[in-house]
Structure 1
Amino acid sequence: MEIKRYKSDILFIVVTILLGLIIVFSSKFIFNGGFVEDKLNRGVKYYKAEVVAIDKEKLQKDKYIDDIELGYQQIKLKVLDGPYINQEFNVVNNISRLYNTKVKQGSEVIAALYFKDGEINDISISSFKRSQVIITMGVLFLMAILLVGGFRGLKAIVSLIFTIVCVIYLMLPLMLRGISPIWASIIVVAISTAITLILVAGINKKSLVAISGTLIGVIIAGILAYAFGVWGNLSGINMSDAESIMYISENTGLKIKGIMFAGILISALGAVMDVAMSISSSIFEIHSLNKNMSIRDLFKSGMNIGKDIIGTMANTLILAFAGGSLNILILIYCSNMSANRLLNLDIIGTELIQGLAGSTGIILTVPVTALIASYLSKRKNGNRTRIKNKKKFKVIKNENR
């Protein structure tokens, strides 16, 4: 039985990987418009480089901000890739409050080469080279999942990668093709939820309940966000980076209205999925231990468990949005705005509706999942009871004969 169970898990993993590859190769047929021309960086190319030497530097500490130095550095930069590999250039690295990239000998950076009439006109340091840091952190993350989760950790990694593939190679191409962002996100949510929960729990009624609860909870969050967004005249056009999004919309089929709500559906998915699976698994486990419990008693047990979950989950998305908007919160806190202006800012309305709609979806997932799980667990038991009763009836009938 153990070998068969692992065989089915491996089969699900292989199917998931194949489905992910199909989505990747099919994305170009959904949208194949290529990249939108970057007007701001026209004539600029970026290459890896290393600081070979610092010939001169004139820096002084900022009078008002700690750990900030202002001034310039005269450095010798060696390009590490591209057509100018191993070539060295003398560069002036200007350091200001906004562009504070202070380097030292041996620092790996990303160099911006500015071209005019096919020739290098200027060179500057764009940023430090951080790709190796991100890759290392990613490897540690995957190793932690595998070490703690074992084979289930492997399934979690596969489902995570599949979700990322769905967002990048399915949802975004659909949106750029002109499909409503809300419908595109619902499609991705449905596919990702089904694959993830089937990988975690297999094909059974427990995973079916969790999938149903997740979809209903996420859709509730989306409906609330859309309804209150329309009521508050928040279409998503006033969000951050709106100007860049509008430029992309001009050159593709992207529909700006609905992007904010699509973001809510995706951001709420993980937390809602977690709650739905926890409630579903708990109720089926309770039923397996005490099959005499009624649907009502199972529902009450699920709600009691859910109340404990709600205590922590209610803050999940609110804190996530607050953390992502911490700079904005600091600016607003220090701006000395009047209550009338503060409470009616576009960005405040957007952030609050995102957080509240997502958290409401998480909370309402509890009773919905508990109700479905209670009903399906008892229905399964009832069907078995009828089968047993039929077998007993046949035995008695034969004895009478």
Structure 2
Amino acid sequence: MAHASSHGSAGPAAPRTTFFLVMILVSALLATLAGLWLLWPSAGDVPDRVPNRAEGTSFVDVTIAGPADPATGSIPVELADGGTSRMQSPGPSVPLTEGDRITAVDISQVAQPGVDPLVFMDFQRELPIALLAVVYALVVLLVARWRGLAAMAGLGIAFVVLLGFTMPALLAGQDAFGVALVTSSLIMFVTLYLAHGLSARTSTALLGTLVGLALTAGIAAWASGAAQITGGTDEASAFLPSSAPAADLRGIALCGIVLAGLGVLNDVTITQASAVWELRAVAPAATRAELFTSAMRIGRDHIASTVYTIAFAYVGAALPLLMIVWLVDQSPLTALTSGEIAEEVVRTLVGSIGLVLAIPVTTAIATLTVPGPTTDLVGNAGLEPSSDPELMAPVSEAWAAQARASEA
């Protein structure tokens, strides 16, 4: 006999499974907090912050009032109090037009007579960036509502961790491998539970994320050494050793490789954990092996799209550098294995390997954590587990077998 019913939640995990999951995660959290305590830098080890302007100078906000003088390059500007002054031209690489709002450095107290008293510092971007941030927050709140608000709160806490612990610890010369693991683990504990709630499903995704982080960190440690990633291929390499002598450029590069894939890794583990729970909800009679097979069909599609995401995120961020490399007459292999390009290639490959490995790991953990196969008292032979026959093939076979058994 068959009847139709709707499938809701897959239900809670078994008590014994929940106990083991909680014990593993509590142990991981305690290890993370212990690492945080051990690696927390003392105030004396953190280098002093470097002044952002020379003594005797000050910052002023000005507005470009007209074109530059063709003979001297001097640019007329309007001061915030309504007065006028002159600014030295920053050159053709910084195009300025009338009405642009600029932050300039006032060097009138230290400049030679006859020299324009203002020097270009940067554009004022506070207003457009603030508007973008407000629009972003509104869109997230309108679409995701309270969960979106929780996710943004988690993002804010993540930046607090980065600014309050990670950067001072790296500048103080603390072990970069440990700093990377502690930072990543702490951020994931906070952001996952804030955004997705305290549940077995979230805990499964968190455990899969932690395993993926450990794998990523291990591969990154090997790859950065084997590929001779020195961290000395950009402007920071010339500034950090003099301002923070204890900072290890190689270690900072390693930490950056681990942190780079954090967001994408979180994305795939949450997706896989949710997929297993939803599959169980629509197919309560499917075995764990059948759930794993069906969930991995989803995972394979996610792997393909995520690999593209990581690669194109780098291409977009490093487009000017890639264009310079393209202009140089050299083979593609030489370009990809030299300098800053090699560092980014290693970062992309390590992050991709880590997230690909995290998908089957998370799927396996989820299939072991989700409630086991069940049937109701009168059978479920008349129910359709899914409209996607390829995705649900193993589950559909289980339903068909159950239907034949109930008819017999």
Q: Same fold (TM over 0.5)?
A: yes
Q: Distance in 2 between matches of 1:343 and 1:168?
A: 32
The residue number in structure 1 matching 2:281 is: 288
The residue number in structure 2 matching 1:311 is: 304
Instruction: Name the SS for the 2:249 alignment partner.
Output: coil
Matched, 1:372 2:365: yes
Q: Distance in 2 between matches of 1:44 and 1:88?
A: 19
Q: Distance in 1 between matches of 2:220 and 2:294?
A: 30
Q: Distance in 2 between matches of 1:266 and 1:219?
A: 12
Structure 1 residues 281 and 131 mapped into 2: Cα distance closer, same or farther (>3 Å)? same
Q: Within 5 Å, which residues of 2 pair with 1:246-265?
A: 246-250=241-245, 253-265=246-258
Structure 1 residues 242 and 42 mapped into 2: Cα distance closer, same or farther (>3 Å)? farther
Task: Judge conservation of contact 2:46–2:168 (CA < 8 Å) in 1.
Answer: no
The residue number in structure 2 matching 1:173 is: 168
Q: Distance in 2 between matches of 1:165 and 1:143?
A: 22
Matched, 1:109 2:102: yes
The residue number in structure 2 matching 1:75 is: 76
Alpha-carbon RMSD across the aligned residues, in angstroms, is: 2.9
Q: 1:49 aligns with which of 62, 65, 73?
A: 62
1:48-92 CA-to-partner distances (Å, cap 9, x unmatched) read 2234x44x7445xxxxxxxxxx973541431x3xxxxx3735214
Instruction: Name the SS for the 2:120 alignment partner.
Output: strand
Task: Judge conservation of contact 2:50–2:243 (CA < 8 Å) in 1.
Answer: no
1:221-254 CA-to-partner distances (Å, cap 9, x unmatched) read 222222122112223233453111222322xx32
Cα deviation, residue 293, structure 1: 2.1
Cα deviation, residue 35, structure 1: 4.0
Matched, 1:334 2:335: no
Task: Judge conservation of contact 2:336–2:345 (CA < 8 Å) in 1.
Answer: no
Q: Distance in 1 between matches of 2:196 and 2:90?
A: 54
Task: Judge conservation of contact 1:71–1:95 (CA < 8 Å) in 2.
Answer: no
Cα deviation, residue 351, structure 1: 1.4
Matched, 1:359 2:352: yes
Instruction: Name the SS for the 1:179 alignment partner.
Output: coil
Instruction: Name the SS for the 2:370 alignment partner.
Output: helix
Structure 1 residues 33 and 189 mapped into 2: Cα distance closer, same or farther (>3 Å)? closer
Q: What is the identity, as a one-letter code, of the residue corresponding to 1:49?
A: V
Q: Distance in 2 between matches of 1:354 and 1:89?
A: 49
Q: 2:267 aligns with which of 269, 274, 284?
A: 274
Q: Distance in 1 between matches of 2:75 and 2:331?
A: 48
Structure 2 residue runs of 5 or longer lacking an equivalent are 1-35, 375-408
Q: What is the identity, as a one-letter code, of the residue corresponding to 2:60?
A: Y
Q: Distance in 1 between matches of 2:250 and 2:90?
A: 40
Task: Judge conservation of contact 2:171–2:247 (CA < 8 Å) in 1.
Answer: yes
Q: Distance in 1 between matches of 2:120 and 2:343?
A: 35
Q: What is the identity, as a one-letter code, of the residue corresponding to 2:203?
A: L
Structure 1 residues 108 and 35 mapped into 2: Cα distance closer, same or farther (>3 Å)? farther
Structure number with higher strand proportion: 1
Structure 1 residues 358 and 31 mapped into 2: Cα distance closer, same or farther (>3 Å)? farther
Structure 1 residues 330 and 207 mapped into 2: Cα distance closer, same or farther (>3 Å)? same
* Higher RCO (C-alpha under 8 Å, 6+ residues apart): 2
Q: What is the identity, as a one-letter code, of the residue corresponding to 2:249?
A: I
Task: Judge conservation of contact 2:172–2:244 (CA < 8 Å) in 1.
Answer: no
Matched, 1:206 2:219: no
Cα deviation, residue 186, structure 1: 1.5
The residue number in structure 2 matching 1:97 is: 92
Aligned residue pair count: 334
Deviates more, 1:139-148 or 1:167-176: 167-176
Cα deviation, residue 325, structure 1: 1.4
Cα deviation, residue 37, structure 1: 2.9
Q: Distance in 2 between matches of 1:28 and 1:361?
A: 29
Q: Distance in 1 between matches of 2:140 and 2:44?
A: 34
Task: Judge conservation of contact 1:30–1:174 (CA < 8 Å) in 2.
Answer: no
Q: Distance in 1 between matches of 2:325 and 2:310?
A: 20
The residue number in structure 2 matching 1:299 is: 292
Q: What is the identity, as a one-letter code, of the residue corresponding to 2:76?
A: I
Q: Distance in 1 between matches of 2:44 and 2:202?
A: 33
Structure 1 residues 71 and 326 mapped into 2: Cα distance closer, same or farther (>3 Å)? farther
Q: 1:136 aligns with which of 128, 131, 137?
A: 131
Instruction: Name the SS for the 1:47 alignment partner.
Output: strand
1:150-208 CA-to-partner distances (Å, cap 9, x unmatched) read 11111111111111111111211222232222222221211111111112332221111
Matched, 1:36 2:49: yes
